[in-house]
């Protein structure tokens, strides 16, 4: 069963979308374009606006202002049942009194498709989700992962223009969730269908999506490939939300342009280099963001900031060392197993350093109200 959604039909475009609930702007001026056949995740914490955007695309919520296009058509005010979209929710919403095949065929029945044709397409959808032969079973005879596959089959059986998914894996246990992440991604690639996927789980978004749109308080923070978001976060929120990050306050030694190396005198003592995010003036208040795995630990006589290891946490694939740099500054350093690095113990003095290309210097004003 091959959808082949290449072409303009699978394109989704959101223009300056605003959705207010009373005085609260759940979505605040978001613009986003999803190309045909692309898998885009909307990622953010609770209250970030991601589900509201998905519901507006689906037609279950109408925006306060802005425009939504699907396949080149303006669907901003179109009823949900005219948009030809597939939808998969966290709850599978399978009919318990129907067989698996009847559940899958139900959308076709509602569209007036002849019985023989809907049975054929339902069985083909079952094969697509690797559950051929399960058509006569009832939903309560299936595992959670199997029920999720049935919900997927029902969503694709009528060949929608776009597949919308709202936290579809959050009810599954960790191992099954990881297995289903890959299954859904492979299915999307097989069908060539456009997917817009809502999640609060950064690992899920990074694993599945071609691009990730990070949201916070209704505003779009950054859109990009998972690697770009992790390696070159554009805002402090993205740096802190995607993966783990150490933040160290300080002031620039000299002015630097966007993307240029900049020396920073750190609060509490010590100097380090980072890459400027945006143009930075001399003596500008900044916070340096650096990932734990990019920190290098060495004997204290070497280069870097002097500190003391206060905890070393062994976790098999890596050891996390927490170092106190003085002045209430603590950083996490992650040492991958098998790299030949020495084992550090609590109480040892240590030098902490990093490369300028591995750290980002954000103007303090970019943090808004964040501490």
pLDDT in tens, 85-122: 999 987 778 899 999 999 999 999 989 999 999 999 99
Give the mean pLDDT of 235-263. Answer: 95
For the record, the structure tokens of 51 come out as 């589900």
Judge whether 58 and 85 are in contact, CB under 8 Å.
yes
Looking at the structure, tell me whether residues 196 and 287 fall in a common domain. Answer: no
CATH number, position 326: 2.40.50.140
Torsion of CA 149, 154, 158, 160, to 10 degrees: -70
The answer to whether residue 237 is domain-embedded is no
Give the mean pLDDT of 288-292. Answer: 97
Q: Up-side HSE of residue 48: CA atoms within 13 Å toward CB?
A: 20
Share of the chain above pLDDT 90, in %: 71
The reported pLDDT for the residue numbered 1 is: 40
The answer to whether residue 2 is domain-embedded is no
Looking at the structure, tell me whether residues 161 and 267 fall in a common domain. Answer: no
How far apart are the C-alpha atoms of 209 and 36, rounded to whole Å?
14
Looking at the structure, tell me whether residues 158 and 195 fall in a common domain. Answer: yes
Write out the residue range of the structural domain in which residue 196 sits.
8-231
The answer to whether residue 267 is domain-embedded is yes
Residue at which a domain ends, from 176, 203, 231: 231
Predicted TM-score (pTM) of this structure: 0.89
Give the mean pLDDT of 54-79. Answer: 96
pLDDT digits (tens, 9 = 90+) for 138-188: 999 988 888 888 999 999 998 899 999 999 888 788 888 888 899 899 989
pLDDT-derived band at 5 (thresholds 50, 70, 90) equals very low
- pLDDT of 370 > 60? The answer is no
Residues 6+ apart with CB under 8 A from 227: none
The reported pLDDT for the residue numbered 371 is: 43
- pLDDT of 302 > 70? The answer is no
The reported pLDDT for the residue numbered 368 is: 67
- pLDDT of 3 > 50? The answer is no
The reported pLDDT for the residue numbered 4 is: 45
Looking at the structure, tell me whether residues 53 and 194 fall in a common domain. Answer: yes
Looking at the structure, tell me whether residues 173 and 298 fall in a common domain. Answer: no
- pLDDT of 278 > 50? The answer is yes
The reported pLDDT for the residue numbered 303 is: 63
Q: Domain total for the chain?
A: 2
Least Cα distance to 197 among 228, 235, 226 occurs for 226
Give the mean pLDDT of 289-299. Answer: 94
CATH number, position 166: 3.40.50.300
Give the mean pLDDT of 8-21. Answer: 94
Least Cα distance to 163 among 194, 190, 133 occurs for 194
């Amino acid at each position: 069963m091959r959808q082949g959604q290449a072409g303009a039909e699978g394109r989704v475009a959101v223009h300056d979308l605003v959705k207010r609930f009373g005085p609260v702007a759940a979505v605040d001026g978001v613009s986003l374009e999803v190309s045909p056949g692309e898998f885009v995740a909307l990622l953010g914490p609770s209250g970030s606006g991601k589900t509201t955007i998905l519901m507006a695309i689906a037609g279950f919520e109408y925006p306060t202002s802005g425009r939504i296009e699907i396949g080149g058509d303006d669907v901003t005010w179109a009823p949900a049942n005219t948009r030809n979209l597939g939808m998969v929710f966290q709850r599978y919403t399978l009919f318990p009194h129907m067989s698996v095949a009847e559940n899958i065929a139900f959308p076709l029945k509602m569209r007036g498709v002849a019985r023989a044709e809907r049975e054929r397409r339902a069985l083909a959808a079952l094969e697509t989700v690797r559950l051929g032969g399960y058509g006569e079973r009832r939903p309560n005879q299936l595992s959670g992962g199997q029920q999720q596959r049935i919900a997927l089959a029902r969503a694709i059986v009528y060949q929608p223009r776009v597949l919308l998914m709202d936290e579809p894996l959050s009810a599954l246990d960790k191992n099954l969730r990881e297995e289903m992440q890959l299954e859904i991604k492979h299915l999307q690639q097989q069908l060539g269908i456009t997917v817009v996927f809502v999640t609060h789980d950064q690992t899920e978004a990074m694993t599945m999506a071609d691009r990730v749109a990070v949201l916070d308080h209704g505003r779009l923070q950054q859109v990009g490939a998972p690697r770009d978001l992790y390696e070159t976060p554009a805002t402090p929120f993205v740096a802190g939300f995607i993966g783990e990050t150490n933040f160290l306050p300080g002031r620039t030694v000299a002015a630097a342009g966007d993307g240029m190396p900049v020396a920073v005198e750190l609060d509490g003592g010590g100097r380090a280099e980072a890459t400027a995010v945006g143009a930075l003036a001399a003596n500008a208040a900044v916070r340096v963001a650096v990932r734990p795995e990019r920190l290098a630990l060495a004997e204290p006589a070497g280069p870097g900031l002097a500190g003391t290891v206060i905890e070393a946490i062994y976790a098999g694939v890596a050891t996390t060392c927490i170092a106190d740099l003085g002045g209430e500054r603590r950083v996490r350093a992650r040492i991958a197993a098998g790299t030949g690095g020495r084992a550090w113990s609590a109480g040892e003095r240590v030098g902490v350093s990093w490369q300028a290309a591995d750290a980002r210097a954000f103007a303090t004003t970019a943090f808004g109200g964040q501490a």
